[in-house]
Each structure stands twice: as C-alpha cells, then as structure tokens.
Structure 1
C-alpha cells in the first residue's frame, strides 16, 4: 500500500514549475515519434497532415471538452494561437516537400533565437546569460546534425521552413500571453486542427479524385497514433505546461524533439544516424540538462509575470 502511494507523494512534492517542465519534456518525446510514424504511413504529406489533425481534434474534444460556442465568438488570442499552430504545421510539411528534411527542421528550430529577443520585449520574461549561452550551444549542436547535408537550392522550401520557425516562436509567445487562460489553450488547439481539416479536405479531394487519400488498415494505425498521441496528447501536455514555464525555456526543451526523432527511427527501422548527428544530439541534451539543473540548483528561475502563472 505504501509503495502504491509513493509515486503520488513524489508528484505532490514537485512544484508547479517542475511539473510544467516534465510536461514539456513529455510533449517533446511524443512529438519526436512523428518521423517514425510518418515513415510508417504510405500516404503523402498533405493527406497525413489532414488525417492527423482530424484524429487530434477528436482527441482534444473528448479529453478536454472545450466550451461549446460559435467559433466567431472565440477571443482574438484563441484564434491567433490556432492560426500560428496551423501555419506552423502546414508550412513545415510544405517545406519538407520543397527542400530537404534537414533544411526544414534546422530552420524551424531557429525559434529559440527569436524568443531570446521577443520574450523580454513582449512577455517581460528576461533571458539570463545562461539562457543565451544555452540557445547558441544547442543551436550549434543542431547544426552538426546536417554536416555535409545542408543544401543551398530550393529557396521556396527554405523560406517556408524559416517562416515556420517564426510562427512556432509566435505560438510559444501567445501561449504565455496574459490573455491566454487555462481554457484558451486546448480550445485554440482544437480550432487549429479543425481549420487544417477543413482546408486540406477539399485540396486533397481535388488533387486526388480517385480517393487514394483514404488510409488502409496499416495506415490507419499509424494515423491514429499520430493524431491521438503525437499531436493530441502532446499538445494538451504542452498547453498545460505553458502556464508555468517560460516561452524560451519551453522552446529549449522542445529542441529535444529532433534529437530523439532519429533515435526512434533507428530503434524500429534500423536507419543509423551519422556520427555528427550523435555528437550534435549529445551537445543539445547536455546543454538543456545543464541549464535546467543549474537553474533549479541555484534558484535562478525565469522571470515570469505573476498574472500569467495560474494556480495548480
């Protein structure tokens, strides 16, 4: 009986911020499974995006049951989060189609650099010297993933990937804005997914009149995981975490996603990452872990506006 109670006591001993950090970490782990399951599914990128958002919307609606209301009555902050969320997903998928996957993910994860400047300006979340050092060390580690693989052509795809980094940073900021309440975050994610489904369904039908965008049973299993777990659960965890975790801090932990992504592909499909990718991943994990340990140990927590920290 005492052993059964131990985990709950341990969780209760954590502060709200520590629970938020664990939630961001869990979200990054779930996001990182996307590469594996996208490879698993035989449908193309636009069809995968549509079905993934369809199942994610159902998941969020069932688990959270956001307040039913007419969409046009939702707040501007809610729609801004939904728009940046949807744009991030669509532009990243399009960038991956037009340029290399390496270029796309590298350029999207420039988001922490934008947050170094935008966080203090817009949210009063000041970056410390340790934050700045961590961003640039982690960014350097990311660059090692693609030694000998970055390509300079496909300008349109590279621009879209860079733009997805901007919208990703904007989504982080909006999730921390004082106008974003506990109820706003899941509702915004639901609306963002519904917008993607409503937009991509006619596009997919027009470009695929024979209906091959409909999944087989094998594809359906992968799409269910992508929608329910990799997007649905992950973004609910992330929305929960953003009540108590600074935008820059969350974006740094999110950089673990591209580190873990090739790991799952290697374990399941046997695709071996290059030695530079292994070194780069170790640098990112080390930088983020050291920053978190140092921050917790010294008590130098990020400066958060008190009105944005919700009670837990």
Structure 2
C-alpha cells in the first residue's frame, strides 16, 4: 500500500517544482522586449535544441528513457501543447499579465468538463458550484477586456487554457509519460514563428532573456507539469498552474509596475478563491478514498 502514496507524493513534488518554475515565464518574455513571432521563434528553437540534447544523453545512458512521442496519444498531446503555446504567447502581447494568468487558471474547469465527457468522470455538485463561480469571475475579467479593446487577447488566453486541459486529460487517460512530448510540441509554434518572421522581420532587444527562458525555464516547467498527470489527478495538476496565476502578476508588478485594474482584481479574486477551494476539496476527497480503500484491504 506504500506505492500509491509514494507515487502521489512524487506527482505533487514534480508539479509543484514545475509550477514554481513557470511563474517566471511571462516576466522573461516581457524583459526581452521583442516582437511576438521573434520571441516565439527563439524560445521554441532553444527549447527544442535543449530537449534533443537531454533526450539523446538520457537515451544513451538508459534504454528506459521516455519516448518523445508515445503513439497517437502523444501526437494529440503535442498538438494541444503546440497550439496552446501559440495562443499563450500571442495573448501576452494583447492583454495585461493579470488578465492572462487568471484566464489560464480556468483550465481546471475545462479539465473537469473534458473528464466528464471523455473519461466518464461526472463532476460532483461541489465541482459544478466551483465552475459556476469561476464563470462569474471570468465574465468580470472579460468585460474589463472588452472595455479596454482586448477581447481578442482574452479569447486567446482561454484557448490556451483549453489546450492545457486537453493535454492533461489525454495524458491522464492514457497513463503514458508525456514529459518530452510537451517539449517536442514546440516544433509546431516554431514552424509558424519562422514563417511569420520571414515576412515581418526579426526584432528582440534582449534575446538572452528568451534564451534563458527556452533553455532552462520551459524544459523544466513543462517536462514536470506534463509528467504530473501520470501520478496525480488532472485537477491536482491544474492546481499548480495557479502558482503562475498568483506569482506572475507580482513579478511583473515589481519589475514593470504593471498594476492590475479593479475589474481584473475582483474577477481574479473570485476565480482564485473558487479554484483553490475546489482543488483543496479534490485533495481531501482523494485522501478519504485512499483511507477507505486501505481499511477495506486491511487483513
């Protein structure tokens, strides 16, 4: 009975480290001060090179190295992460950071809905209540974006959130190791970015921030977050994306003095409260189920 507990703890640790690492992504993008397609190209190219090197070394040292693309499910997960990356980076340039990270945190709702339809895991009343509260929070944030002329950026952020939830759901359904898959997925946005840079030109004032992002932050964050669903549930994995929701606006405020609007703060507070409450409830229910199973199987 010790193995499941060990696996669960391992999953929590991996996703916690990945979530913390991800919080510096947006500040590094903003510090680079470049065109969206140029930033996307350098970020993805650096990530792909580092991924290839790490995987080759791992493969040479151990035959048990995870596959880059484990079958059709791997292709689907890679597509989700690739499209989500394009939407995410585009949203960075269209809406304030607080709007972006609050809407990205909405992936918990998407994960619950997708699990309901595809994994036959019907949401409980508490989940439905949390989803209703989060819809109210998102509506407040989006209404602020409409008045600021940034509805397109809000839609991009929601699309990125949906892609993350889809990748988590597929990974959870298959039980496969998708750590490298999330990194190989940058091939899709890289191709799009190269094509766009060829048309509009290259512009990054401080490319070393993006190189740091692509070489260190992205490989660590996405490998660990993509590995998490193998050990813990989708809502638990999504909970650690909240670290970016809470910390990224703080880093941006400290560095760039980008103050969130009152509407964003109100909507974000509702969203975060609902998400945290729901995630903590999921953790509590999981512990109760494991304890009940342990009692039933006790000699």
Q: Which residue of 1 aligns with 2:296?
A: none
Q: Is the 8 A contact 2:142 2:154 kept in 1?
A: no
* Partner deviation per Cα, 1:116-153 (whole Å, 9 max, x = no partner): 22203312444333333344445545566677454385
User: Could you list the runs of 5+ residues in structure 2 that have no partner in the other structure?
Assistant: 61-66, 291-299
Q: Distance in 2 between matches of 1:51 and 1:167?
A: 22
Q: Which residue of 2 aligns with 1:190?
A: 183
Q: Is the 8 A contact 2:37 2:197 kept in 1?
A: yes
Counterpart among 184, 195, 200 of residue 202 in structure 1: 195
Q: Distance in 2 between matches of 1:223 and 1:245?
A: 31
Q: Distance in 2 between matches of 1:232 and 1:149?
A: 31
Q: Is the 8 A contact 1:86 1:196 kept in 2?
A: yes
Counterpart among 28, 31, 35 of residue 40 in structure 1: 31
Shift, 1:103, TM fit: 6.2
Shift, 1:57, TM fit: 1.8
Matched ranges for 1:10-159 at <5 A: 15-65=6-56, 75-97=71-93, 99-101=94-96, 108-138=104-134, 140-141=136-137, 148-151=144-147, 159=155
Q: Distance in 2 between matches of 1:90 and 1:165?
A: 12
Q: Distance in 1 between matches of 2:161 and 2:282?
A: 26
* Partner deviation per Cα, 1:218-243 (whole Å, 9 max, x = no partner): x2331123213332110111122111
Matched ranges for 1:175-254 at <5 A: 175-178=171-174, 181-182=176-177, 185-208=178-201, 212-213=202-203, 215=204, 219-254=206-241
Q: Is the 8 A contact 1:91 1:163 kept in 2?
A: yes
| SS class of match (1:181) | coil
* Partner deviation per Cα, 1:187-209 (whole Å, 9 max, x = no partner): 4223211232233223212321x
* Partner deviation per Cα, 1:49-108 (whole Å, 9 max, x = no partner): 11111222233333344769xx999622111111111111112333455x5346665655
1:175–1:72 CA distance, 2 compared to 1 (3 A) = closer
Q: Is the 8 A contact 2:179 2:224 kept in 1?
A: no
Q: Distance in 2 between matches of 1:37 and 1:283?
A: 27
TM-score, with length taken from structure 2: 0.74
Q: Is the 8 A contact 1:60 1:186 kept in 2?
A: no
Q: How many residues align?
A: 279
Shift, 1:286, TM fit: 4.7
User: Could you list the runs of 5+ residues in structure 1 that have no partner in the other structure?
Assistant: 1-11, 303-312
Q: Distance in 2 between matches of 1:16 and 1:171?
A: 20
Q: Is the 8 A contact 1:255 1:284 kept in 2?
A: no
Q: Distance in 1 between matches of 2:218 and 2:259?
A: 25
Q: Distance in 1 between matches of 2:24 and 2:196?
A: 26
Q: Is the 8 A contact 1:119 1:248 kept in 2?
A: no
Q: Which residue of 1 aligns with 2:169?
A: 173
1:26–1:274 CA distance, 2 compared to 1 (3 A) = farther
